[in-house]
Amino acid sequence: MSEVRRAVCPGSYDPPTIGHLDVIARTAALFDEVFVAILVNPRKQGLFETGERIEMLREITTDLPQVRVEAFSGLVVDYCRERGVQALVKGLRGATDYDYELPMAHMNRHLTGVETMFLPGAPGQVYVSSSLVKEVARGGGDVTPFLPPTVHRRLAERLRD
Ligand code: PNS
């Protein structure tokens, strides 16, 4: 019997964008099980609580049955080891992402042998990031095209509060 192929898509997801969803869906097309793992970082206050990020990611991945959404703390390699994950999958929008991701990919492989796979960001989305979307939304700009509708609704509510 062949081994179940498992991947993890780790990130902050504060909030998840259409770029994140694209990477998650493309990963789900390649692996049997995909863990969307949200880093809990006590040193960094996000706009959304971890629980809200979990809810948003579950809402936008309901049509992807092989996807599971969880929070994690500590090292991503330990999370991978605990769940029998063979590969980390990350989206690359450009050279800046590559420069940021490459040392982590090498370090993670050094630590436990887990591989990192990069998917090129969809051409129409390479300028989409959680931080830019938040900045534009705070300034009153229209970020509708960059967010799944349920995430857009929550962001609008949060910025109204
Ligand atoms: O969405 P982000 O903030 O770019 O995601 C970064 C993330 C969460 C993937 C990265 O910071 C990470 O894997 N953190 C977990 C802690 C860890 O394993 N650090 C060592 C990486 S070599």
Is 44 marked active-site? yes
Could you tell me if residue 105 is inside a domain?
yes
pLDDT the model gives residue 38: 98
The answer to whether the annotation marks 93 as part of a ligand binding site is yes
* Active-site choice (6, 53, 130, 134): 130
From the CB of residue 14, how many other CB atoms can be counted at a distance below 10 Å? 21
Q: How far does residue 106's CA lie from ligand 1's centre (Å)?
A: 13
Give the model confidence (pLDDT) of 29-82 as tens digits.
999 999 999 999 988 899 999 999 999 999 999 999 999 999 999 999 999 999
Number of structural domains in the chain: 1
pTM value is: 0.97
39 lines ligand 1 (CB under 6 A): yes
| CATH number assigned to the domain comprising residue 45 | 3.40.50.620
Q: Is residue 152 marked as binding?
A: no
Q: State which residues form the domain around 61.
A: 6-160
* Atom 21 of ligand 1: nearest residue by CA position: 104
Angle (nearest 5°) at CA 76 between 71 and 81: 100
Could you tell me if residue 1 is inside a domain?
Answer: no
The per-residue pLDDT of the chain, averaged, comes to 97
CB 16 within 8 A of CB 48: no
Residue 115 lies in a domain: yes
Active-site option among 26, 68, 81, 93? 93
Give the per-residue pLDDT at 161: 83
The answer, yes or no, to whether any atom of ligand 1 lies below 6 A from the CB of 76, is: yes
